[in-house]
Amino acid sequence: MTIEFETPKPVEQARFLLQTVADNMMRPISREMDENEHEIPFSYIEFMHSAMKAMGGSSAGSLSTSEDKKADEPGKPKRPSIAYQVLANQLEVLSWGDVGMYLSTPGGGLGAAAVQAAGSSEQKEKFLARFNGEKPTFAAMCMTEPQAGSDTSAIRTRAVLDEATREWIITGEKIFVTAGEKSFNDHPELGNGFIVVWASIDPGAGRAGMRSFVIEAGTPGVKVTKLEHKMGIRVSDTASISLDGVRVPFENILGSPTVEKSTTGFKGAMATFDATRPLVAATGVGVARAALEELKSMLAQQGVTIRYGLPRQKLTAIERDVIDMEIMVKSAWLMVLKAVWMADNKQPNALESSMSKVRSGDIVNRVTQKAVEILGPLGYSREYLIEKWFRDAKITDIYEGTGQINRLVVARHMLNYSGSELR
């Protein structure tokens, strides 16, 4: 197989629609939402829910598009899915509009991705179908704990099977849960969401004992205890969640309930990240592109144009900086495209997934910082969105595996080392 760089028609259609959303629904209220942290943008959420249903549910947790479904119809030729390619393009455009609001887009997010990666066909049908319901619905992944950040294998949340009732009893604490409040707390405007909680069913087994559990909204014993006040992505809720003797149906475990010597449970988590890290990278590219385009527009207003095609030594310092920024943004996007193409074609992409995340996290911080530096006081002023994008950029390097952790993943794959051999 070879990668084709011609944009598929469904991708073009989705980008066109969402560019209109980004221009007319996100940018006009971007500053207002940033200033009013944790205010839920219900008008945006409701519009996006309706739009995604009309587009075939491509962002609503099912990771499918209307074009994918056509390929499975009788008499239609089989062809590779383009679901992740569609998603990457959608997320890049929405993050160009406002990455915090994108994170408030209804759908399954990491929670649905976990079900998609490790759930049975029955679980997928049960839990993912709700994202195409009448109300906008959210799901969240609960993995990080106070003592277990990047080292996800160190989680202490425990799940114990009650043999009498055939229920799992889960106790623990989770922090930094993206969309945790909208996924679990009761809002009349939102549908019945869920959280996916990572816990150990056998602490003595280490990573082999890790499993994930779907906990539906309204389940007793689950409480959102805190919403983080953040530097960036301020419209997105980032929650702390406590679990006190939470009873979960036996069938809500994702994966086998039997502990074996293999690390199947942990690999299920990593498979989720292999699929979603390129999508996170796409959001970083969107923020970087927003900053770069705004910088070029503001420079043009001052009579500064970029003279392409000249030898580097004949360019001004600003021209060289802008061209370097464009190279960074385009190279990061190409790495995203390769990683999502591999995901769509069901090829192992752990290396490419982490590489795209590292590259995007690096360039979005460099591009936004350089934009602030070039514009000086204007770049630092809250009158313009450049300073906001500078604040929003850093999260790309942090969530779903920090830049340092992903560099370790890349090194292990390139050098053929295990986790224990290279830490």
Residues carrying an active site annotation: 400
What does the alpha-carbon distance between residue 386 and residue 27 come to, in Å, rounded to a whole number? 12
In terms of DSSP H, where are the helices of 103-177?
A: 109-118, 121-128
Partners of 404 in the beta sheet?
none
In terms of DSSP H, where are the helices of 345-402?
A: 350-375, 377-380, 386-393
Residue 293 gets which letter from DSSP?
Answer: H
Beta-carbon contacts of 383 under 8 Å, excluding residues fewer than 6 positions away, are none
Biggest CA-to-CA distance, the chain: 79
Based on DSSP, count helices (H) and strands (E) in the chain, helices before strands: 14, 8
Residue 244 gets which letter from DSSP?
Answer: E
What does the alpha-carbon distance between residue 303 and residue 298 come to, in Å, rounded to a whole number? 9
Torsion region of 33: left, alpha or beta (phi above 0 gives left; psi -120 to 50 gives alpha)? alpha
Other C-beta atoms within 10 Å of 133: how many?
A: 13
